[in-house]
Amino acid sequence: MKSSIGKKELALIDAYWRAANYLSVGQIYLYDNPLLKKLLTRAHIKPRLLGHWGTTPGLNFIYVHLNRVITEQDLNMIYIAGPGHGGPGLVANAYLEGTYSEVYPNISQDERGMKRLFKQFSFPGGIPSHVAPETPGSIHEGGELGYSLSHAYGAVFDNPDLIAACVVGDGEAETGPLATSWHSNKFLNPLTDGVVLPILHLNGYKIANPTVLARISHDELESLLVGYGYIPYFVEGHDPQKMHRLMAVTLDAVIRDIQRIKAATRRVGVKKRPLWPMIVLRTPKGWTGPKQMT
C-alpha cells in the first residue's frame, strides 16, 4: 500500500496525538500544576481517580488520523466511540481544536483554562467521565457497551454521503448486541445509504480482563470478519512512528476502497452486496503510559 504522506506531516500527527494524550492524562490525574512547571507532589493529584486511561491513547490515535483524511479529502464523517468511557480523549480533542473554549469560554486555551479543564473532569460540579451531552459535538451519550455499531448503521441509512467511523472495543465486541450488529452491513444499500467503517480496537483487555478477539489467532480473526462480510485491514504494533505511517497508509487505502465501491455502484447499479473495508487496530492498552511506578 502506498501513500503520499510525508515525514513532516507524520511528525505533526504525532505531536497532535501526544498533546491529546497529555490533555487526557491531565484530566484524569491533575488537580493543579497543569503544565508541570512545579515539581509534582501529591497535592497536585486528584484525591479520587476516575476515568479510563487504557482506551484513550487508541481513541486519540484514531481521532487525529481520521482528521487527516477528513480535511485532506473533505469527507463527511462522524466519529462513534464504542468506548465512550474514554471521555477525556474526546474532550481533549475538542479542546485542542478550539471548539471547547468557544462553547465554554472559561475553559480557555491557556494555563488557567487548562487547570480548569483538568479539575472539572469527573469532579463535583464538573463534567462526566464519559462522552456526554456537555462534550461539544457529541450528539448521543451511550453508557451501556454494545450499541456503537448499530448506531453507526442507523446514522448512515438514507444518508448517502456520510461515513460513520465506528470504534468498537474488544470487550464491547463480546456483548450480544455488538456481536450481532456486524451483520447490519447486509441492510446497507450502497446507492442510497452511507458507509460504516468499523475500527475494531484490540487493546487486549476489557478493563483488566483478557478479551476473546485479541486472543484468537490472526487467521481465525480474519476468517471471522470476512465471514461477517468485511475486508479487514490490520494495523498492529506499538512503535508510534511505524504505527502512524501504517495507519495513514491503511486509511488512504480504505477510503479509496469505499470511493471505488460507491463510484462503481453509481455507474452500474447495485449488482451484488459489496464487501466493505474495516480496520483492526491492535495496540497495547494504556499505550505510551509508564510500565512501572516507583
Ligand X SMILES: Cc1ncc(C[n+]2csc(CCOP(=O)(O)OP(=O)(O)O)c2C)c(N)n1
Which residues contribute to the site for ligand X (CB under 6 A)? 52, 54-55, 83, 85, 144-146, 169-172, 175, 201, 203, 205-207, 211, 285
Q: Does 283 bind Mg ion (CB under 5 A)?
A: no
Torsion angle, alpha carbons of 268, 69, 60, 100, to 10: -110
**Closest approach of Cβ 3 to ligand X, in Å?**
26
Residue with cell 488520523: 65
Tell the smallest beta-carbon distance from residue 103 to ligand X (Å). Answer: 26
Residue 26 interacts with, from Mg ion, ligand X, none (CB under 5-8 Å by kind)? none
Q: Which three cell numbers stand for residue 115?
A: 487547570
Q: Which does 51 bind (CB under 5 to 8 A by kind): ligand X, Mg ion, none?
A: none
Closest distance to ligand X from the beta carbon of 179 (Å): 12
Q: In this chain, which of 57, 82, 171, 232 binds Mg ion, going by CB under 5 A?
A: 171
Cβ atoms of 292 and 61 closer than 8 Å:
no
Regarding 60 and contact with Mg ion (CB under 5 A), the answer is no
Residue 276: CB atoms within 10 Å: 19
138 binds Mg ion (CB under 5 A): no
Residue 56 as a binder of Mg ion (CB under 5 A): the answer is no
Q: Which is nearer to Mg ion, 170 or 252 (CB)?
A: 170
Q: Is 274 in the site for Mg ion (CB under 5 A)?
A: no
Type of residue at 52: H
In our burial notation (b when 16+ CB lie closer than 10 A, e otherwise), range 48-87 reads: eeebbbbbbbbbbbbbbbbbbbbeeeebebbbbbbbbbbb
Nearer to ligand X, 105 or 176 (CB): 176
Q: Which does 145 bind (CB under 5 to 8 A by kind): ligand X, Mg ion, none?
A: ligand X
34 or 146: whose CB is closer to ligand X? 146
| DSSP secondary structure letters along 253-280 | HHHHHHHHHHHHHHHH---S---EEEEE
Rounded CA gap, 242 and 236, in Å? 9
Q: How far is the CB of 258 from Mg ion (least distance, A)?
A: 26
> Do 101 and 95 touch, CB atoms closer than 8 A?
yes
Cell of 54: 487504557
- Shortest gap between Cβ of 124 and ligand X (angstroms)? 22
Query: Residue 115 binds what, of Mg ion, ligand X, none (CB under 5 to 8 Å, by partner type)?
Result: none
The secondary element (H helix, E strand) that includes residue 43 is none
Contact, 271 vs 264, CB < 8 A? no
Handedness of CA 75, 81, 84, 89 (dihedral sign): negative
> To the nearest whole angstrom, how small is the minimum distance from the Cβ of residue 239 to ligand X?
20
Instruction: Find which of Mg ion, ligand X, none residue 43 binds, CB within 5 to 8 Å per kind.
Output: none
Shortest reach from residue 106's CB to ligand X, in Å: 30
Count the Cβ atoms, other than its own, within 10 Å of residue 249: 17
Could you list the residues that contact Mg ion (CB under 5 A)?
169-171, 203
